[in-house]
Amino acid sequence: MKPINIYALTRLDDPLTQQRLERQMSRRKHYLKIKEWEIQDLKAFSAKLEAVEERAYEMEFFYSFIMPKLGKEFDLLRVNADYVVNVELKSGDVPDEVIQKQLLQNRHYLGTLGRTIYSYTYVSSRDRLVRLSNSGRLVEAHWEELAEVLHRQDNCYDGDIEELFKEDKYLISPLTDPGRFLRQEYFLTSQQKDIKKHILKRIQQNAQCVQGFTGLPGTGKTILLYDIAMQLSWREKVCVLHFGSWVKELEQLDERLKRIDFFDRSMLEKWRDAGRYAVICVDEGHRIEAPVLQEVLERAEAWKAPVIFSYDREDAISPMERTQDGARLIEEIPDYVSYQLTNRIRVNSELSAFIGCVMYVKNGNHRREYPSVTLSYGNNCMEAERLLHNYEAEGYVYIRDAVEVARKEFDRVVMFLDDSFRYDEAGYLRSKGEAVRNLFHGLSRAKERVALVVQDNQTVFETILGIVQGEKAKY
């Protein structure tokens, strides 16, 4: 999305023509529905600016920009290497506390750019301009002041604004970026915020409730669970039981975040001896076993503590390949309340569709392009190893055991399929042991690109090649 000249846009009166021109200037992928009061606010803002800045007609702003994945919208943004100018437009009379809250939130979100932020709101009905002070107070502002700030803002960024808001700047994993998590340099999506609100509200109403959330890999379950644990730990003693692999990043969190105690499955005896906890959080709950789950519930009842579960859904995998029973056990708990994360924030829609097709060729996501997917075929072990080596040299991460990298993400991932893989009569990918689950979770760790190396398995290779080329499923 490109910046637009709001002076040029507001010379028009016909709403449909305005929408067409705005799309042409901004290069949006869709038409922006501009309401009549919005264009009137733009006109009023443009006129006020023009009265104090003779070159106001030249100035461009990013108009109605929405941060990817988060849904956070900004009315007007102007960016250069030194600072950001944010102007919010209001037509009706809005209480100061509402204006202040919005500008503070905007400053927080824009902080990912690492630049000085100037925040203003123009209320057209009252012809009032206010700004957010450095200390976070709302103060009256003058148009000459805003004009001076804009006048000094030279060499403004005129590229695609989404390039400045790459998701890895604000959508993180506590296990990948423990430092940024502890500094709270992350944001939750609107769906995550909604689930968090419901969970905290229910805890207030019933201290012994059992609830949790699930979703496919990449939907942001871990960051949501740890964010909730962080908030609750300000008032109560909280523990997190992690049933994935114990990684050094989790040790860092345990060392640096003293308000929360972290335990993996090998430390359950230590957890039993640690004393009472006011809140029990369970991460990677799909790996929990029945006796341990029962113990968690019994202790929660004795401590009068709420329990919050986070666990994966493996709906894309054949039911015959789902060897872990934790998800079913959790969902069978009496009075258990479940929420589902559906927005995959770390896996783009292209890779998500491709992974779904590989796991189940009948899932209906065929006949689309997959430019971020590459395939290679080796006739024997030596050829396959050479191909894997080539991908690793190009920056791909070869995941041999997805359990070891649970809750981590990588830009590029390469996975391996040998001759044990096959598609069954129903269209599900099958193999021996944990191979299919490992493939599914390994591919789901990729953020940008995936590669598959198939060895001595022409049938499976041709099926996946057909998926990539948009052909009708053959298996």
CA dist 24 to 9, 37, 202, Å? Answer: 11, 21, 47
C-beta neighbour count of 111 within 10 angstroms: 14
Tokens of 3: 């910046």
Distance CA 267, CA 159 (A): 51
> What is the per-residue pLDDT for 39?
87
> What is the per-residue pLDDT for 365?
54
Tokens of 323: 């060897």
Which of 384, 380, 374 has the alpha carbon at shortest distance from 448?
Answer: 374
218: left (phi over 0), alpha (psi -120 to 50) or beta: left
Q: pTM, whole model, 2 decimals?
A: 0.68
pLDDT tens for the chain, 475 residues: list them: 999 999 999 988 888 888 899 999 999 988 888 888 888 999 999 999 999 998 899 999 999 999 877 788 999 999 999 999 999 999 888 999 999 999 999 998 898 888 999 999 999 999 999 999 999 999 999 999 999 999 999 999 999 998 898 766 666 778 777 888 888 888 888 889 999 999 999 999 988 899 999 988 778 898 999 999 999 998 889 999 998 766 677 777 888 888 899 998 888 899 999 889 999 999 989 889 999 999 999 999 999 999 999 998 776 677 777 666 788 899 999 999 999 987 666 556 788 889 989 999 876 555 577 899 999 999 999 999 999 999 999 999 999 988 777 667 788 999 999 999 999 998 999 999 889 989 998 998 888 899 999 999 999 999 999 998 877 666 6
Contacts of 238 (CB under 8 A, 6+ apart): 229, 232, 259, 260, 261, 277, 278, 279, 280, 281
C-beta neighbour count of 278 within 10 angstroms: 16
Domain 178-341 homologous superfamily, CATH:
P-loop containing nucleotide triphosphate hydrolases (3.40.50.300)
SS3 320: helix
Residues facing 413 on adjacent strands: 397, 450
Q: List the chain domain ranges.
A: 4-165, 178-341, 349-468
Tell me 208's DSSP state: T
C-beta neighbour count of 286 within 10 angstroms: 21
